[in-house]
Amino acid sequence: MAVTMDAPSQAAPSRQGRSLHRFANPGRFLRLSKAVFPWLMACGWLITLVGLAWGFFYAPADWQQGDTSRIMYIHVPSAWLASAGYFSLAIASAVGLVWRHPLADVAAAEISPVGAGFTALCLATGSLWGKPTWGAWWVWDARLTSVLVLFFLYLGHIALVRAFDNPERGARAGAILALVGVVNLPIIKFSVDWWNTLHQPASIGLTGSPSIAASMLWPLLISVIGYTLVFAALVVARMRAAVMERRIRGLLMARATTDAATDQDAFA
């Protein structure tokens, strides 16, 4: 993965693998991401601010929890991205394992710190919400515990991919952990249905009408969209930095090799 990212794969890839490797060229990625990144970040922050302003200042308070419920405009989007981010991490890891896609390894390595940050935000805002609602900052509830496990999975992936001198070994080890950890995602999703938990069930589902009023639902959905765009922009920014770092490291190594060869010829 490291400094040979510009070189094509030596193995004969499948048709799908060849299609994926069209986007493996670092130069092509840098050009495309340079054009996309400013729009992602600007739209993400703008939409997020609109959603938060709407939710905090114009949406009605919950009839039971009052203004305390307004923390959901931060908590719910971060909770969504904690799980969605890990799912995207698992997809990138699978692509890296199966097709040896170099940018997939970079994506996986850069998704995990961003996902860990959003998961930490989810846990922190959940704790702030839980204190006035449940009377405790933390309870070993099935939903809370499974999200805490997700946070540790992110941290484990961050540590693994950086624990080896050989970046490819780190990427493989991190990918295996990411794929194994996917089993935690359905536990997070269905924990409120499988066990008797303090955490409330989902207010929005794929089937049936939402159990949240439209005046509160719309700013929440807008916040989710904004957070998602910001998440994507942060990952793209980190990937750009990682690709440029690897290319610079490759150029420095090539220059060092050339200088060493020149010195040997001079003393020969």
Domains and CATH numbers, the chain: 39-59+66-196+216-260 (1.20.120)
Q: What are phi and psi of 62, to 5 degrees?
A: -65, 140
CA distance 235 to 232: 5
Residue 158 — pLDDT band, cuts 50, 70, 90? very high
Residue pLDDT, tens place only, 6-63 = 444 444 445 554 555 555 677 788 899 899 999 999 999 999 999 999 999 999 988 7
Which of 187, 215, 208 lies closest to 86 in space, CA to CA?
187
- DSSP reduced 3-state for 61: coil
pLDDT given at position 62: 83
Highest-scoring range by mean pLDDT, 33-42, 134-143, 187-196, 244-253: 33-42
Whether 127 has a pLDDT exceeding 50, the answer reads yes
What angle in degrees, to the nearest 10, is found between the helix axes of 102-134 and 142-161?
Answer: 150
Percent of the chain with pLDDT over 90: 54
| Cβ–Cβ < 8 Å for 114, 234 | yes
pLDDT given at position 133: 83
Q: Please count the helices (runs of H) and the strands (runs of E) in the chain.
A: 8, 0
pLDDT given at position 1: 39
Question: For residue 252, which amino acid is it?
Answer: L
Residue pLDDT, tens place only, 169-223 = 999 999 999 999 999 999 998 887 777 776 776 666 655 566 688 889 999 999 9
Highest-scoring range by mean pLDDT, 133-137, 230-234, 262-266: 230-234
pLDDT given at position 2: 40
Element (H or E) spanning 82, and its range?
A: helix 72-99
| Cβ–Cβ < 8 Å for 98, 176 | no
- DSSP reduced 3-state for 200: coil
This prediction's pTM: 0.84
CA distance 233 to 110: 11
